[in-house]
Structure 1
Amino acid sequence: MGSKGNSKPESNLKHFSLVRNFYIADVITLMNGVCGVQSVFASMRYLASNDIGDLYKAMLFMPFGLFFDFMDGRVARWRKNSSLLGQELDSLADLISFGLAPSALAYAIGMRTYLDTVVLTYFVCCGIARLARFNATVAMAPKDATGKVGHFEGTPIPTSLSLVALLAYFVLQDRYMETLPGQLITFANGWDLHPLVLIYAVSGTLMISKTLRIPKP
Structure 2
Amino acid sequence: MSPRRPKRKTSDPSLPSHFSMVRSFQLADFVTLGNGVCGCLSLMFAMKALLTQNTDFLFTSFWCIPAGVFFDFLDGRVARWRQSTSILGQELDSLADFCSFGIAPAVLGFACGFQKMLDLVVLTYFVCCGLARLARFNATVAAMPTDFNGKIKFFEGTPIPTTLVIVGVLAYGVFNGKFWRFANPEYQHEGPFASFSQAFTPDNVWGGEVLLFPGYELHPLVLMYAVSGTLMISRRLRIPKL
TM-score range, shorter chain: over 0.9
Q: Which runs of 5+ in 2 are unaligned?
A: 1-11, 180-199
Q: Note if 1:92 corresponds to 2:103.
A: no
Query: Where does 1:148-187 land on structure 2 (aligned, <5 Å)?
Result: 148-176=151-179, 177-178=200-201, 179-187=204-212
> What's the CA shift for 1:70?
0.3
> What's the CA shift for 1:181?
2.4
Q: Note if 1:104 corresponds to 2:121.
A: no
* Equivalent residue number for residue 4 of structure 1: none
Q: Work out which of the two has the higher radius of gyration on C-alpha atoms and give 1 or 2.
A: 2
Query: Match of 2:25, as an amino acid?
Result: F
* Equivalent residue number for residue 235 of structure 2: 210
User: Matches of 1:198 and 1:8 in 2, distance apart?
Assistant: 56
Helix, strand or coil: the match of 2:212?
strand
Query: Match of 2:212, as an amino acid?
Result: F
> What's the CA shift for 1:8?
4.8
Q: Deviations over 1:28-77 (max 9, x none)?
A: 00000000000000111111111001110110000000000000000000
Query: Match of 2:30, as an amino acid?
Result: V
User: Matches of 1:49 and 1:189 in 2, distance apart?
Assistant: 33
Q: Note if 1:193 corresponds to 2:198.
A: no
Helix, strand or coil: the match of 1:164?
helix
User: Matches of 1:51 and 1:181 in 2, distance apart?
Assistant: 19
User: Matches of 2:123 and 2:234 in 1, distance apart?
Assistant: 18
TM-score (normalizing by structure 1): 0.93
Q: Which runs of 5+ in 1 are unaligned?
A: 1-6
RMSD value, Cα: 1.2
User: Matches of 1:190 and 1:53 in 2, distance apart?
Assistant: 34
User: Matches of 1:66 and 1:49 in 2, distance apart?
Assistant: 27
- Aligned positions, number: 209
Q: Deviations over 1:147-167 (max 9, x none)?
A: 211100000000000011111
Q: Note if 1:42 corresponds to 2:45.
A: yes
CA contact (8 A) 1:77 1:146 kept: no
Q: Note if 1:130 corresponds to 2:133.
A: yes
Query: Match of 2:14, as an amino acid?
Result: P
> What's the CA shift for 1:15?
1.3
CA contact (8 A) 1:130 1:208 kept: yes
TM-score (normalizing by structure 2): 0.84
CA contact (8 A) 1:154 1:213 kept: yes
What percent of counterpart residues are identical? 56
Q: Deviations over 1:153-208 (max 9, x none)?
A: 00000000001111111111100143222201123343111111000000000000
Q: 2:14 aligns with which of 9, 13, 17?
A: 9
Query: Match of 2:121, as an amino acid?
Result: V
> 4+ residue runs of structure 1 moved beyond 4 angstroms?
none
Helix, strand or coil: the match of 2:155?
strand
